[in-house]
Amino acid sequence: MTKKYSFSGGVHPASHKGNDKALTSPKPVIKLKPPELVIIPLLQHLGSPCKPLVKPGDPVTIGQKIGEATSFVSAHVHASISGTVKAVKNHPHLSGVDVLSVFIENDYKDTMFPGLSKPDVASLTQKEIVECIKEAGIVGMGGATFPAHVKYSPPPDKPIDTVILNAAECEPYLTTDHRLMLEHTEDVVKGLELIARAVGAKDIYIAIEDNKPDAVKAFQEAVPPGIKVSVMKTKYPQGAEKQVITSVTGRQVPSCGLPFEVGIVVANAATAYAVYQAVYLGLPSYERVVTVTGCVKEPANFLCPIGTPFSILFEAAGGFTEQPAKVISGGPMMGIAVNSLDLTVVKGTSGLLALTARQADKQKESNCIRCGKCVDVCPIGLKPLYINAYAMKNDFENADKLHAADCIECGCCSYVCPAKRYLLPSIRLAKAEILKLRKKK
């Protein structure tokens, strides 16, 4: 019997008794007709915002660089449609603040930037692969949005021996990666091999949950000798970076540490596909697949230009079956609730979820009953109830002693709490305050 990998803690969300992914997982990706106007933020990544390279009135083409990274931890931004720059100004962003953005009016000619070129893949050195990834503006497309070229440039004294493709996609509802893995299996594998070349890793794993048997089979048939397909038990948050590492290799990333410290790099499936497109096809990161689901008439996965307004995607899904009480960018466990459909798709937008009033019902918080369920399910082994108590008293030094900064914000604790304590929001607060305290010290 094939071993199935897992980790301690975690939950099994039952939003629709396991049928939430079935709304979109059987449906091939639909290429969305480019909208009349895209609004492209110059901050779509962790790190410094980009410097605009265009001004109102400038003509632009698909794949043209319109935002230049201003530091090492940053990522270039490219035009996702051809047309004319109408404005470069602040616009509401998923982060909750206004971000400098480029407004482009579509000319519907779909003209590609003439400067795009395909390198000789076989002859590329490690540094040249990383440079291709940097120029393409690729970030972690699972939602973390960490610049990929930074991730694939580990310190010289931290050699990487293992690369893991994170193909878990453990969040309910989301099927973006699932469809990419089915429709572009060989391309995802080629992207993964490029990442392994870039970091000098010899061991390559594909980590995928057992609720995607069709994708498991596709990978098993497509991978060359030397790449191992590791089937993991379906459990949330199996797709969290540290949990994938532990499940597949048994290694433990140290407290507040990063995977390179244990000789590992983890890449999301959509990121690997973007790497393939950048290196083999010379295409920068200007579009992505987004799952649009929930209370919509036709849930679907759409390939859309970066900068597409959320309203356009919901229209493409047939509109709402009823007025949603909450719209989430991402999945229901770790996604961000949005207050406007004028927000636009960025590189880390994996899905849009519309929830009904019943689904979004926020029950009243009551006193902790010390049941310990939050401790049992925490995949990091934290004590959320005590971190919550310290956070509510603004005692962030003691919250730090309980390793609040190690929280991966998966939301398992809030999900199982019978008292409906606002555990995750309070831990997020504690993490932010702990960061401030450390900077002062």
Give pLDDT tens digits for 265-281.
Answer: 999 999 999 999 999 99
pLDDT at residue 3, as a whole number: 57
> Is the pLDDT confidence value at 301 over 50?
yes
pLDDT above 50 (res 1)? no
Average pLDDT, the chain: 94
pLDDT tens digits for 290-300? 999 999 999 99
Domains defined along the chain, listed by start: 30-116+284-355 (3.10.20.600), 118-280 (3.40.50.11540), 373-440 (no CATH)
DSSP letters, 26-57, are TSPPEEPPPPSEEEEES--SSSPPPEE---TT
Kindly state the average pLDDT of the residues 335-342.
94
> In the structure encoding, which two tokens stand for residue 83, read together?
């047309």
Residues 172 and 328 sit within 8 Å (Cβ to Cβ):
no
Instruction: Tell me the two tokens of residue 55.
Output: 């001004």
Give the three-class secondary structure for 254: coil
Asked if 26 and 215 count as a contact pair (C-beta separation under 8 A), the reply is no
| Per-residue pLDDT tens over the stretch 18-77 | 479 999 999 999 999 999 999 999 999 989 999 999 999 999 999 999 999 999 999 999
Q: What percent of the chain is modeled with pLDDT above 90?
A: 90
Residues 145-198: tens digit of each pLDDT: 999 999 999 999 999 999 999 999 999 999 999 999 999 999 999 999 999 999
Q: Which two tokens stand for residue 415?
A: 């999900």
pLDDT, tens digit, 9 for 90 and up, residues 121-145: 999 999 999 999 999 999 999 888 9
Q: Per-residue pLDDT for 17 more than 70?
A: no
Residue pLDDT, tens place only, 351-391 = 999 999 988 877 899 999 999 999 999 999 999 999 999 99
Q: Token match 């453990």: residue? A: 170
> Cα(236)–Cα(102) distance, rounded to whole angstroms?
37
Distances from the Cα of 117 to the Cα of 114, 195, 218, 277, angstroms:
8, 20, 30, 11
